[in-house]
Amino acid sequence: MPDIAMPKSSDYAAKKHPGVREVFRDNTLWILDKPAGVLSHPNPPRDRVANALIRGAYDFQRELYRVEVPGDTQLQVHLVHRLDQETSGLIICTFSADAAASLRQQWFDRDVEKEYRALVVGIPRGKIGEWCDHLVKGGGGGKVTVRMGQGAANAITAYHVVETFDSSGLALLSLKPETGRTHQLRVQSSTRRFPIAGDDRYGDFAANRYLAETVGLKHMFLHAYYLRLRHPKTGHLMRFEAPLTSRLAHPLEQVRQLHKRVPTQRREEARKRKRR
C-alpha cells in the first residue's frame, strides 16, 4: 500500500483537542495523551462535540474521524480503542484502515501491553495478583452500567501494588488488563472493595468528597500510563509512556503527606448503626 499523502506538520495541532498532547506521529501511527474530561469520540447521535479527541466528524460505523485539512483533502483518523471520558492517558490512532485492523488484531490477540496507574481506596492484602471475572453490561437512564455476572471469565487484569499509604488507607496500583471490557478496571477494583479514588459511578462517594476537599482530587485517578505494541507497518516493537498530569501528580503528592484515615461510606454507615 503506498504512503498516504499527509498534511503539513503544523496542521495537526489544530485537528486535535487543545488539551490533548501528541506523544508520537508518523505516516501510520498517531499516539495521543488524553486528559480527563475529553471524550474518545462523541456520543451518538451527535458526530462532533467540542470536547472530543479530534476536531472532525466521527463515523460510528467505521470508527474513524473525518478531518478536513488545507488543500480540500480529508484525513481519516481511525480510533483503535477507547478510554472512558474521565480516564486520562495514552490512546492509539492510525491514518489507515489497514493499520487500524492490524492493531485491533494485536489487541484481540493480547499482543498489546497496556498499563494503568490507579489510586484506590483500600490496600490489597497481596502485593501482586490477578483478577478474573465475568462482566455483564447493562444500561438505564442513558448510562452504561457494568456488573459482575455468572460465567467464564471475560475480564482479566493483573495488578501489583506500586505504593501504599498506610496512614490514609490508600494504595497506588499498576493495573495491566489482558482484556478490554467496558469499565473493566473500575468494576473489578470496586467489587473487591478497592474502588478507584474519584470514580463517580462505582467509587466510594464519602472518600471521593474527602479527597476532593483535602488533596484536590477532582476527578477519577485512573491513567493509561504505558503502551507496548508492534508498529503495524514496520513490525518494530514500540513503547510509549505518559507521566501523570499535574491534576493527578499534585493530589498524589498531597496523599503522601496525609496522616488521617480517609473516611469511607462503609465506615460512615457502620458508625450510624452503632449510634442507634
pLDDT score for 73: 72
Predicted model pTM: 0.91
Query: pLDDT (tens digit, 9 = 90+) per residue, 177-233?
Result: 999 899 999 999 999 999 999 999 999 999 999 999 999 999 999 999 999 999 999
pLDDT in tens, 83-112: 999 999 999 999 999 999 999 999 999 999
Residue range 163-183: mean pLDDT, rounded: 96
Nearest-angstrom CA–CA distance, 55 and 58: 9
Q: Mean pLDDT of all residues in the chain? A: 91
From 228, 115, 133, 135, select the one nearest 182 (Cα to Cα).
Answer: 135
pLDDT on residue 153: 96
Q: What is the dihedral of CA 116, 117, 123, 125, to 10 degrees?
A: 40
Give the pLDDT band of residue 269 (cuts 50, 70, 90). low
Q: Which residues make Cβ contacts (< 8 Å) with residue 109, sequence separation at least 6? A: none
CA distance 26 to 198: 35
Model confidence at 8, pLDDT cuts 50, 70, 90, reads low
Q: What percent of the chain has pLDDT over 90?
A: 83
Mean pLDDT of 15-28: 95
pLDDT in tens, 125-160: 999 999 999 999 987 666 788 999 999 999 999 999
Distance CA 10, CA 129 (A): 45
C-alpha cell read off for 235: 513490525
275 Cα distance to chain centroid: 40
Q: Is-contact 153 92, C-beta < 8 A?
A: no
Q: How far apart are CA 200 and CA 186, in angstroms?
A: 10
Which pLDDT tens digit goes with each residue over 66-87?
998 776 578 899 999 999 999 9
32-45 pLDDT tens trace: 999 999 999 999 99
Query: How does residue 1 score in pLDDT terms, banded at 50, 70 and 90?
Result: very low
Half-sphere exposure (Cβ direction) of 198: Cα atoms closer than 13 Å: 25
- Ordered structural domains, the chain, with CATH: 10-109 (3.30.70), 110-269 (3.30.2350.10)
Half-sphere exposure of 112 (CA within 13 A, CB side): 22
Q: Which residue has the cell 501523570?
A: 244
